[in-house]
Amino acid sequence: GAVVSQHPSWVICKSGTSVKIECRSLDFQATTMFWYRQFPKQSLMLMATSNEGSKATYEQGVEKDKFLINHASLTLSTLTVTSAHPEDSSFYICSARNLQGAYNSPLHFGNGTRLTVT
Amino acid sequence: AQTVTQSQPEMSVQEAETVTLSCTYDTSESDYYLFWYKQPPSRQMILVIRQEAYKQQNATENRFSVNFQKAAKSFSLKISDSQLGDAAMYFCASLSGTASKLTFGTGTRLQVTL
């Protein structure tokens, strides 16, 4: 149980285009999903907290107009990298917390998306 | 604000031996939780073990155990009887009640040798 599906697992796009990454909780409902970015051999940096039915909360230094987050249902959050540039190339990981769980319950992570912008 | 520090970028252990990964943290919260996550080459984040700060007893999950020293703000992970499949990046993380979001350390890459 507690599976989080992230799609696509990898994507290559041209500079200036937009890319959408989906994060789905397959067997549970999640009011809160988190989006992380991970550079090679580095830690996970929280980009934003996605709340179902409301605006996402972005971490300091993360451009909200650049990284659009939508959490339209209890099982789906999307991250759209707009007007992508090579410096946006990275590994993006989503995670979700079960609606039934307390705030301190473990997060369930997706398998990540490797984005390469050429 | 929370900070998590892992001072060992890389560690190596022989199969069947025991290894300890270090982690220190800082938080002003009285209610918080600590985690160890494993990230194998597949990049999937896997929860290894979890510790509630209000519990004095150290958490244990099979071959994995922690040494939680609250006063010293230390949260080390001990892996006993190491197996080849334990090779991965290990991240220490903290979660506070007010922030409700995980803060990760920089990770320790564990190699397991024959």
pLDDT value of residue A104? 65
Nearest residue of A to residue B45 by CA position?
A: A109
Residue A3, pLDDT above cutoff 80: yes
Q: Mean pLDDT over residues A6-29, rounded?
A: 95
Q: Per-residue confidence at A72, pLDDT binned at 50, 70, 90? A: confident
**Tell me: the pLDDT tens digits for A79-116?**
999 999 999 999 999 999 877 666 667 788 999 999 99
Residue B98, pLDDT above cutoff 70: no
Give percent above pLDDT 70 in chain A. Answer: 94
Interface test with B, best of A36, A38, A39, A43 (most B CBs within 10 A): A43
CA A57 to chain centre: 12
3-state secondary structure of A86: helix
Strand partners, A19: A81
Interface test with A, best of B32, B45, B49, B55 (most A CBs within 10 A): B45
| Continuous segment of H or E residues that includes residue A45 | strand A44-51
What is the rounded CA–CA span in Å between residue A73 and residue A81?
A: 20
Q: Chain B within 8 Å of A103 (Cβ-Cβ)?
A: yes
Q: Per-residue confidence at A32, pLDDT binned at 50, 70, 90? A: confident
Residue B2, pLDDT above cutoff 90: no
What is the rounded CA–CA span in Å between residue A101 and residue A118?
A: 40
pLDDT value of residue B67? 97
For residue A85, the one-letter residue type is: H
Q: Which of B44, B52, B102 sits opposite A111 (nearest CB)?
A: B44
Which has more pLDDT, B45 or A2? B45
SS (H, E, C) chain B: CCEEECCCCEEEEECCCCEEECCEEECCCCCEEEEEEEECCCCCCEEEEEEECCCCCCCEECCEEEEEECCCCEEEEEECCCCHHHCEEEEEEEEECCCCCEEECCCEEEEEEC
Nearest CA among B103, B58, B97 for reference residue B78? B58
Q: Which of B43, B47, B107 sits opposite A111 (nearest CB)?
A: B43
